[in-house]
Chains A and B, each alone.
Chain A
Amino acid sequence: MSQPLDGFLAAAPAPQRAGLRALLALARRPRGARLIELFPTLEQLTCGLLAAERCEVDSAARALGWDADAVVARGRALRCAEGRP
């Protein structure tokens, strides 16, 4: 599991944290993924989380037109130049 997703889960309430970790572990296995497909809500949840994890990788995000580092750098430059907090 990537650090961003791990951090996201680590800060969640205990029941969600345990449940989501178990669900994601299941979803990463072919048989587990097929089992999850039987429950649309769970399928969407795991699909979304795994896709979000992939999209948070810089190269994947930049391929979709989003450069988080550039956004952060511009913010820092503006704050510095204009004395913003």
Chain B
Amino acid sequence: MSETLNADVCVIGAGAGGAVAAAELAEGGARVVLLEQGPAHDADQFSARPLEMLGRLYRDSGQTATLGSPPILLPLGRGLGGTTLVNSGTCFRAPEPLLERWRCEHGLELDGLALDHCYERVEHALSVAEVSPELAGANAAIARRGAERLGWSHGYLRRNARGCVGSGVCVFGCPTSAKQHTGITYLPRARAAGAQVITGADVRRILVEGGSARGAQARLAGRRALEVHAPRVVLAAGTIHTPLLLARSSLGGDSGQLGHNLVLHPATAAFALMDEIVDMARGVPQSFYVDEFAGQGIMFESVAGPPSYVALALPLTGTRHAAAMSRYRNLAQFGLMVSDSSRGRVHLGSGRSSRPLIRYDLVESDVAKFRIGLRRLQELFEAAGAREVYLPLAPRVAPEHLRARDLKLLAFHPLGTARADADPARGVLDSDLRVHGVRGLYVADGSVMPSSLGVNPQLTIMALATRLAFHLLERTVPDGPRGSYDGASEVSPSPASMSP
């Protein structure tokens, strides 16, 4: 049984990029159909129990992993909101020198002022604000104490949260709906403006005819087929799945860059046993940063969680693990993230499986960053008065001597696999995020980034999606939060006037 829908724009993926694009386009008068592979999630079902929520909110129970040295866990959200549902909510703008580098090296005409308007618009929509010291909690206070004693540059993070009470389970489903993920911000706006949002839609192919996008084919539950006919398609399936869908549709491959240039911001964390009670999950888990070494590609951000989360993450075994867990209330944790020079690749696995094969090896310069970063983490905790520090290394491996295989890493910011570059020989997308050589086909997720961002990417993904949506509407992004343009007050453009 099959069904056909007609739209002005078909958006694929309801995460950071897709939800923003869908809402802005729908409010601008476009008929939008948004296809999301995963389900809708209900905050009533969030249990604050990590093992249970990993299985519910994350693709592959959070066990998507890269192959390489070392293997890296790559937790990805799945469902309405995408990874914004399960991230820590940290919001950073892209550093201006990086945008300048993108302009110079990749020909990306990212007008600073226009992008500023996009950032402002997103920040207003998501209630982005700095975490207060009180809400940050004792875990952040310990890191702050260490940073102050060492004279390291630091601060409280800006997050997309409103009415947060520090439940401590941002990455396991916010039980208070304080975290302003796209599922409760942009998606309701999209629906209110008439967008049709369809969950459980596994998009199998993007339709192109005569060099122009024509829509998408999807499989729904019960083997039903859905075809969306739209002259414009915005693909936002995420860094891992966007290149796979393009490849399956025989699109975007001319430059040879599709699926390549994967960067991850590989990360790890250390624990410390303190004399004081910490109760790390009381407060905002990711609330504080130390950017003293950001120029070297090393960023520190706080991280925390309930006991079962710590049990999984603690780099100890046997009686030492049990002893540390018995002192859970006295444990502090702080994370380290590297702006990677390593480059990986995503491609389809062999055989009938449509599972991605993600290959990524840490290059020596990134291993060196971890050597420095882990030593600095130890210094930070010792300066804060830690009784013991537990580094994420095998026993008897000192940071200075670690090798790639000694590291236990996770990564939360996959980027770059459909990178934008004005030169079609070097990039998959042009400066407008349009797939080179295909009219009407665009990408609006982390895969567009030409390089590592060095900071949490959700805000930049959303700003770029905002820029794209207004480009398709042939409008400039208004000055101010929602500017003088409000979807209810402007005359809606006819579909024919939209940018191809």
Chain A interface (Cβ < 8 Å from any Cβ of B): 4-5, 7-13, 16, 37, 40-41, 43-44, 47-49, 51-56, 60-61, 64-66, 68-69, 71-72, 74-76, 78-79, 82, 84-85
Contact B314 A48 (CB under 8 A): yes
List of A residues within 8 angstroms of B316 by Cβ: 44, 47
Contact B176 A47 (CB under 8 A): no
A-B contact pairs, 19 of them (CB 8 A): A4-B49, A7-B52, A7-B55, A8-B51, A47-B317, A47-B318, A51-B321, A51-B325, A52-B51, A53-B51, A56-B308, A66-B281, A66-B307, A72-B48, A74-B175, A75-B167, A78-B165, A79-B176, A79-B177
Question: Given A4-B49, A56-B51, does the pair A11, B308 have CB atoms closer than 8 Å?
Answer: no
| A52 to B50 CA separation, bound complex (whole angstroms) | 9
Per-residue CB proximity of B323-345 to A under 8 Å, as 1/0?
00100110000000000000000
User: Whose C-beta in chain B lies nearest to the C-beta of A20?
Assistant: B63
Specify which of B50, B65, B178 is in contact with A56 (CB 8 Å cutoff): B50
Determine whether the beta carbon of B394 is less than 8 Å from that of A40. Answer: yes
Q: Which residues of A contact B55 (CB under 8 A)?
A: 4, 7-8, 10-11
Contact with A along B379-406 (1 / 0, CB 8 A): 0000000000000001100000000000
B5 to chain A, nearest CB (A): 26
- Say whether B325 contacts A75, CB under 8 Å: no
Range, interface on chain B: 35 or more
Give the contacts of B286-334 with A (CB-CB under 8 A): 306-318, 321-322, 325, 328-329
Contact partners of A56 in chain B: CB under 8 A: 49-52, 308
Q: In the complex, what distance in Å separates the CA atom of A38 from the CA atom of B260?
A: 37
Question: Cβ of B63 and Cβ of A48 under 8 Å apart?
Answer: no
Contact B325 A85 (CB under 8 A): no
Which residues of chain B are within 8 angstroms of A11 by Cβ–Cβ distance?
54-56, 58, 60-61
B184 at the interface (CB under 8 A from A): yes
Q: Contact at A44–B188, with CB atoms within 8 Å?
A: no
Decide: A5 near B51, CB < 8 A? Known: A40-B394, A48-B312, A71-B168. yes
Asked whether B111 is an interface residue with its Cβ less than 8 Å from the other chain, the reply is no
The 7 A-B residue pairs with the shortest CB-CB distance in the complex, in nearest-first order: A75-B175, A51-B311, A11-B61, A55-B307, A55-B308, A68-B48, A11-B55
A27 to B228, CA, bound (A): 50
Q: Is the interface of A mostly helix, strand, loop or mixed?
A: helix
> Are B52 and A8 neighbours in the complex by a CB distance under 8 Å?
yes
Bound together, the chains give a CA A5 to CA B54 distance in angstroms of 10
- Cβ 8 A contact of A4, one of B52, B184, B311: B52
Report Cα–Cα, A43/B327, bound state, in Å: 21
> Could you list 11 further interchain pairs (A-B, Cβ under 8 angstroms) beyond the known A66-B281, A75-B174?
A4-B49, A11-B55, A11-B58, A12-B61, A13-B64, A47-B318, A48-B314, A53-B51, A72-B175, A75-B167, A78-B163
- Complexed CA–CA distance, A69 and B175 (Å): 11
User: Residue among A10, A51, A61 with the most chain B CB within 10 A?
Assistant: A51
CA distance A51 to B306 in the complex (A): 12
Nearest CB in chain B to that of A2: its residue:
B51
Q: Are A43 and B317 in contact (CB under 8 A)?
A: yes
List residues 160-204 of chain B with CB under 8 A from any CB of chain A: 163, 165, 167-169, 174-178, 184, 188
Find chain A residues with CB under 8 A from B328 CB: 64-66
| Minimum C-beta distance from B277 to chain A (A) | 8
Give bound CA distance, A4 to B49, whole Å. Answer: 9
CB of B279 within 8 A of chain A? yes
User: Which residues of the partner chain A approach B281 to less than 8 Å between Cβ atoms?
Assistant: 66
The answer to whether B48 touches A8 (Cβ under 8 A) is no
Closest residue on chain A to residue B313 by CB atoms:
A48
CB distance from A20 to the nearest CB of B (A): 9
Q: Is B47 an interface residue (CB 8 A)?
A: yes
Report the nearest A residue to B278, measured CB to CB.
Answer: A65
- Please name all residues of chain B whose beta carbon is closer than 8 Å to the beta carbon of A16 when the two chains form the complex: 60, 63, 65
Q: Which of B165, B167, B176, B279 contacts A65 (CB 8 A)?
A: B279
Instruction: Report Cα–Cα, A65/B50, bound state, in Å.
Output: 15
The reply to whether B48 and A52 contact each other, CB–CB distance below 8 Å, is no
Report if A40-B395 is in contact (Cβ < 8 Å); known contacts: A13-B64, A74-B176, A85-B188.
yes
| Residues of chain A contacted by B308 (CB below 8 angstroms) | 51-53, 55-56, 61
CA distance A44 to B60 in the complex (A): 21
Give the Cβ gap from B288 to chain A, nearest Cβ, in Å: 21
Q: B194 → chain A, closest Cβ, in Å?
A: 19
How many angstroms from the CA of A55 to the CA of B471 in the assembled complex? Answer: 50
Interface centre among A41, A49, A55 (most CB of B within 10 A): A55
How many Å lie between the Cα of A82 and that of B177 in the bound state?
Answer: 10
- The residue in chain A whose Cβ has the minimal distance to the Cβ of B328 is A64
A82 with B163: CB separation less than 8 A = yes
**Across-interface contacts of B395 in A (CB, < 8 A):** 40
CB distance from A12 to the nearest CB of B (A): 4
For the complex, is B44 an interface residue (Cβ under 8 Å from A)?
A: yes
Q: Which of B1-55 contact A (CB under 8 A)?
A: 43-44, 46-52, 54-55
B124 in the interface, Cβ–Cβ < 8 Å?
no
Residue numbers in B under 8 Å from A54 (CB-CB)? 311
Q: How far is the CA of A76 from the CA of B165 in the complex (A)?
A: 13
The reply to whether A60 and B47 form a contact with Cβ atoms under 8 Å apart is no
Q: B188: nearest residue on chain A (CB-CB)? A: A85
